[in-house]
Chains A and B, each alone.
Chain A
């Protein structure tokens, strides 16, 4: 599971970086989205991968922490998703404004540059 997970993050990051370095604004926003997916998966993985583990520890019984999942990265990922989503939406607006003002979709506003 770890290998597939790591591969997925690697592929997403590589595609994201390649797209961010492209000259069209739409490619850049796709690249940023892929990067954000990769980062979210990465944060998730930092809390140790586990299938079917509950993220809440019962304090009443003397619980074994290794049977439970770590809830903190899940909270972090949630925050990161919300922030990343909002920023992507904002970037989309600026992208459209740039398209409207310059008349093309080059990141520098100039297709020859």
Chain B
């Protein structure tokens, strides 16, 4: 049994990869096998993620000590081979990604997968890329997984085509290609100085660098950090985000809401590692001052965007920016208590924005008469197997009281995003604000506390105003509202995501226990570094005697 458990960390990458590849073998017209494969794979992915989180949470202390599992790909010891590292933070992100993937997939099955070819395969590859980015312990491998998820996201963003999507896609691809080059420059500079790509090894060697090397190293880290900030949607690198997320097909936009968190995860992971081992201060932009400043500016500008947005999906895209800003500011504030609170906020905001993206499209249907998708979308795909009668095909059960559902859903999403009681959005913001006070020493309150309080409370107030206005505009302003036909398959995912937020707020205690554990392991990175470099038990054949890498680097 133990042997199987040791191989568990590779499954979140292998399952979607195999599923996505196998689906390509079926003709586009044969939907049933593809749907079954996609559902089974996504469900299996969720189960594996839950199992990983359960084992990492100290529930079974005998398997992975300190909740860290090191998986040696190819059986080579840590700095020489590529490793996958699972700890509590990555297990949490895996679960979030799996939940979001399953709900958006079910939502997409009702209508959206028919709007273009190969939706299912691209969707699986996106899951694979995101999972891989959360699991890998190697910088270049991180680049590769980020490219996998970006490549899939390019295809998914263009899913359904139409002029606005192609335009947004063009910008999105151009900026992300440039971002990838920046990423590569950063990675190769770090390799050039430290002679290693393993994140734990980089952190361990950072303290041994001479003054000259240190300058180059910090330059490399700063360049790499800019690439992460671009992915995270931080100001001033986020102007691509509103139009890309605002025009993507809604189930795609829902999974995209975890994509910005990949950047935040990378910042958090590398920042935590660099803070532990390098005797000197953490280089920019991973150090607290930079993250805090960037986070506050992102929060303010994201909030301003929420106020200006006139279209619901664009508004949610700005909510993603505001939540990225809040997270960066909270993480930049520093302190162990803050890390747990910020992770709670991350969980809550990912669930909320995911549900909100899907809800927006259903609300959109109240205003139009069924032909809500431009025709060019279907024509330009040019695939003989793609349905043209896309709009009115009924699959599954139509749910009753559609308007009541939409209204309640919008209210719940607004409460979550703005951070009002009783849902988890409120608890998340409350935890962050209370953590600012527990971590500070007695005496006069530092100015950063004031700035964070003002930013978060002000942003909540403005978000409420904007969301009220949007709600009035969507539900009350016109007489031409028609009750849309909502299928169970579309309503259920949104309901599940919202109920998960309710469950998160009811079970805040146990959730915070886990998240605080995750926060604590981030604050003591030496355990992670030791676990990776000692290599623990390789699952494959025992590694060959290693070449001293110091020799190669002169």
Q: CB of B535 within 8 A of chain A?
A: no
- CB of A73 within 8 A of CB of B191, answer yes
- How many whole Å from A7's CB to the nearest CB in chain B? 17
- CB of A97 within 8 A of CB of B166, answer yes
Residues of B within 8 A of A70 (CB): 552
Residues of A within 8 A of B170 (CB): 25, 91, 94-95, 98, 107
Residues of A within 8 A of B (CB): 20, 25, 28, 32, 35-36, 38-39, 42-43, 46-47, 57, 59, 65-66, 68, 70, 72-73, 76, 79-80, 83-84, 86-88, 90-91, 94-95, 97-98, 100-102, 107-109
- CB of B173 within 8 A of CB of A91, answer yes
- How many whole Å from B74's CB to the nearest CB in chain A? 14
Residues of A within 8 A of B158 (CB): 94, 97
Query: Known contacts A98-B166, A98-B167: does B554 contact A66 (CB below 8 Å)?
Result: yes
- How many whole Å from A18's CB to the nearest CB in chain B? 13
B contacts with A: majority SS: helix
- CB of A83 within 8 A of CB of B147, answer yes
The 19 sampled A-B contact pairs (Cβ below 8 Å) are A39-B181, A39-B184, A46-B188, A46-B191, A47-B191, A59-B547, A68-B552, A73-B188, A76-B140, A76-B187, A83-B147, A84-B177, A84-B180, A87-B177, A97-B161, A100-B380, A102-B167, A107-B171, A109-B167
- CB of B169 within 8 A of CB of A94, answer yes
A28, A35, A46, A57: the one contacting B181 at CB < 8 Å is A35
Query: 7 nearest interchain CB pairs?
Result: A46-B192, A43-B188, A65-B551, A46-B188, A39-B181, A65-B552, A101-B163
A contacts with B: majority SS: helix
- CB of A32 within 8 A of CB of B192, answer no
Residues of A within 8 A of B178 (CB): 20, 32, 35
State the CA gap A100–B161 with chains docked (Å). Answer: 12
- How many whole Å from B381's CB to the nearest CB in chain A? 11
Q: CB of B475 within 8 A of chain A?
A: no
- CB of A91 within 8 A of CB of B174, answer yes
Apart from A65-B554, A66-B554, A97-B380, what 13 extra A-B contacts exist at CB < 8 Å?
A: A32-B178, A35-B181, A42-B184, A46-B191, A47-B192, A70-B552, A76-B191, A83-B144, A86-B151, A90-B154, A97-B166, A107-B174, A109-B163
- CB of B173 within 8 A of CB of A94, answer yes
Q: Which of B324-351 contact A (CB under 8 A)?
A: none
Residues of A within 8 A of B174 (CB): 20, 28, 32, 91, 107
Residues of B within 8 A of A68 (CB): 552
State the CA gap A90–B180 with chains docked (Å). Answer: 15
Q: Which of B147-184 contact A (CB under 8 A)?
A: 147, 150-151, 154, 158, 161-163, 166-167, 169-171, 173-174, 177-178, 180-181, 184
Output the nearest chain A residue to B554 by Cβ-Cβ distance: A66
Residues of B within 8 A of A38 (CB): 181
State the CA gap A110–B411 with chains docked (Å). Answer: 38
State the CA gap A33–B4 with chains docked (Å). Answer: 45
- CB of B188 within 8 A of CB of A36, answer no
Output the nearest chain B residue to A20 by Cβ-Cβ distance: B178
**Total A-B residue contacts, Cβ distance less than 8 Å:** 98
- CB of B554 within 8 A of CB of A102, answer no
Residues of B within 8 A of A101 (CB): 161-163, 166, 376, 380
Residues of B within 8 A of A95 (CB): 170
Query: Known contacts A70-B552, A87-B151: does B191 contact A79 (CB below 8 Å)?
Result: no
A28, A42, A43, A94: the one contacting B166 at CB < 8 Å is A94
State the CA gap A8–B167 with chains docked (Å). Answer: 33
Residues of A within 8 A of B171 (CB): 107
Residues of B within 8 A of A87 (CB): 147, 150-151, 154, 173, 177, 180
Output the nearest chain B residue to A25 by Cβ-Cβ distance: B170
Output the nearest chain B residue to A75 by Cβ-Cβ distance: B140
Residues of A within 8 A of B297 (CB): none
Q: CB of B185 within 8 A of chain A?
A: yes
State the CA gap A64–B167 with chains docked (Å). Answer: 55
Query: Known contacts A25-B170, A102-B167, A107-B171: does B177 contact A91 (CB below 8 Å)?
Result: yes
- CB of B181 within 8 A of CB of A36, answer yes
State the CA gap A95–B373 with chains docked (Å). Answer: 22
Residues of B within 8 A of A76 (CB): 140, 187-188, 191
Q: CB of B268 within 8 A of chain A?
A: no
- CB of A42 within 8 A of CB of B185, answer yes
**Could you say which of B180, B187, B376, B380 has the most chain A C-beta atoms within 10 Å of its C-beta?**
B180
State the CA gap A73–B187 with chains docked (Å). Answer: 11
State the CA gap A98–B187 with chains docked (Å). Answer: 33
Residues of A within 8 A of B173 (CB): 87, 90-91, 94
Q: CB of B512 within 8 A of chain A?
A: no
Residues of A within 8 A of B191 (CB): 46-47, 72-73, 76
- CB of A83 within 8 A of CB of B180, answer yes
What 0/1 pattern do residues 135 to 148 of B give for CB contact below 8 A with A?
00000100010010
Q: CB of B189 within 8 A of chain A?
A: yes
What 0/1 pattern do residues 187 to 229 of B give for CB contact below 8 A with A?
1110110000100000000000000000000000000000000
State the CA gap A73–B547 with chains docked (Å). Answer: 17
State the CA gap A66–B550 with chains docked (Å). Answer: 11
State the CA gap A84–B191 with chains docked (Å). Answer: 20
Residues of B within 8 A of A98 (CB): 166-167, 170
- CB of B552 within 8 A of CB of A43, answer no
State the CA gap A36–B176 with chains docked (Å). Answer: 13
- How many whole Å from B355's CB to the nearest CB in chain A? 29
- How many whole Å from A86's CB to the nearest CB in chain B? 7
State the CA gap A87–B143 with chains docked (Å). Answer: 14
- How many whole Å from B513's CB to the nearest CB in chain A? 41
State the CA gap A111–B154 with chains docked (Å). Answer: 24
Output the nearest chain A residue to B154 by Cβ-Cβ distance: A90
Output the nearest chain B residue to A38 by Cβ-Cβ distance: B181
State the CA gap A70–B191 with chains docked (Å). Answer: 11
- How many whole Å from A56's CB to the nearest CB in chain B? 11
